[in-house]
Amino acid sequence: MNKVLIGLVAGLVLVAVGAPAVCGWAIERGAEERLRNLTDLASFLSVRDHTFHRGWFSSEEVITFEVGAGLDVPLPLPAPGGAATPPKRPAFVVRNIIHHGPLPGLSTVALASIETHVEAAPGAAPLAKLPPAVHGSIATTLDFTGGGRTVLSGAAIPDTDFGDGVHMTSDGGEIDFDFGPHFDTLAVTGKLPHFLMRKDGAMTMEANGWEVKFKAHRVLRSLYASDVDGTLGDFEITDLAMADPKLAKFGIRAARYVSSTSATAGFLDGTGVLTAREAHAAGKSVQGIKLDVAIEHWQADAFEKLMAGLRKARNGAGAPAERVAEMTKIAKESGVTLLVNDPVVRVRDLELSTEEGFAKVSASFRINGATAKDFEPPLNPAVLLKKVRIEADISLDDELADLLDRPRTLPNSRTPAPSPLAGLIMQGYVTRAKGKTSTKFALIDGEPTLNGKPFSPAALAPPPPPARPGKPSRARPTSAGA
């Protein structure tokens, strides 16, 4: 009996000592895949350096990320005629302290638990220098199936001066990120109740009531079908350097975005609806905004290759001109494959109101029967145009339509030019009735129509001004034989 008990104890000790080492080996083996999946999702990040130091009960992983790699936008932009300064991109270091399972930190049962610390990268464009108490925490749990959960908790920030006239205030926030094995499934929830950043004499940016819910599953390599529901109470940017406060503001109020994409038989279909109570910019305001867009029959393999190829080329190591050339090549190859599979884009509903009135638009764009040969040089636009079908239904309140149709003055004349809109109404291309100005545009088999009537852009040109009455010219008589 004592021998059995001793054997059990010895076995438990062996497991307790040996299991963390096995877990550490599994974690290191999957580190590159997890990092690759992360940068596939966050394509604005690239990895500058990655090291992994494995211990028996814990390991340390250090990753240097660079933000905006491949964009090559000079910061600041050069003055006209001046030379562009070399871009200096923000970069940061992620330091992961990994506690090996099966009982990491004696707090849970998992493959590992990870404490993440973020700091600015040496020599890179500086990030905001937040005090340690402001950073909050980033904690990850890896389960034995290959999935896990990461929780980012931001601490509240009182009105804090970070130097150079930069101030920040926040109520804190949280993002919960669940991922399945190989990142095949994703689920994200996030909240940011209030955030304010301002720079003395330059700008302020304030956001309230941001929330998001996101679920997705992989359908093809880096392509996901997803459902998104996000809200934003209000968001506003103010340019404090502008003299006119009305022109200095850009903002949006009570916004919500809901979208859903699915894949069936190798094709993507999706919808997205954006609504907002109000938006304003440069002293102008619109209310009751609704944008409802759908895609149909997008060839999934071509779309995935297009997006992944563009992402890879953009973040490549070559010179900007080389990357642009590579992106152009990818767009031609995968973009053509996408177009020859009869894709459809619909603006199912666009609505907005201004002080002058209400506008409503619906439209669709599709290509039917195009072949790869249609896109080979030399292009024949007439042949390709016959395979494009565009339909649009436009309706505006009369006062808003008149505002967009402001009269112009003819050159060398004090008389206002005839209204193009009035000419279109007179010719039957546009209908005006019951306070509404409306028309239906169609491009079918290469032939444009307005309100069902064949249309030529020449109809938009104002009629020539009437000839001035003048004196009849007198011809000089000629003698015979002269």
39-43, 69-73, 133-137, 295-299, range with greatest mean pLDDT: 295-299
Short-list 95, 73, 69, CA closest to 86: 73
**Greater confidence, 196 or 125?**
196
What amino acid is encoded at 407 in this protein? P
* Half-sphere exposure at residue 250, Cβ-oriented, CA atoms within 13 angstroms: 6
pLDDT at 271 over 80: yes
pLDDT of residue 75: 38
The Cα 23–Cα 144 span in angstroms is: 9
Cβ atoms of residues 250 and 240 within 8 Å: no
141: β partners = 113, 149
Short-list 463, 458, 436, CA closest to 448: 458
Distances in whole angstroms, Cα of residue 83 to Cα of each of 69, 73, 75, 78, 366: 21, 13, 12, 6, 43
Cβ atoms of residues 313 and 319 within 8 Å: no
pLDDT at 209 over 80: yes
Q: What is the pTM of this model?
A: 0.83
The Cα 259–Cα 274 span in angstroms is: 9
DSSP per residue, 332-357: HHHHHHHHTT--EEEEEEEEEEETTE
pLDDT digits (tens, 9 = 90+) for 374-395: 998 888 889 999 999 999 999 9
Packing angle, helices 320-339 and 300-314, rounded to 10:
180
Q: What average pLDDT score do residues 63-75 get?
A: 62
pLDDT of residue 76: 40
Cβ atoms of residues 350 and 292 within 8 Å: yes
pLDDT digits (tens, 9 = 90+) for 10-48: 554 555 567 888 899 999 999 999 888 888 888 778 888
For residue 482, count other CB atoms closer than 10 A to its CB.
Answer: 5
Short-list 285, 255, 286, CA closest to 273: 255
Spell out the residues 6+ positions from residue 158 whose beta carbon is closer than 8 angstroms to its own.
169
The Cα 233–Cα 255 span in angstroms is: 6
Cβ atoms of residues 455 and 439 within 8 Å: no
pLDDT at 133 over 50: no
Instruction: For 313, list phi and psi in degrees, rounded to 5.
Output: -65, -40
Instruction: For 5, list phi and psi in degrees, rounded to 5.
Output: -65, -45
CA dihedral 192, 198, 203, 206 (to 10 degrees): 20
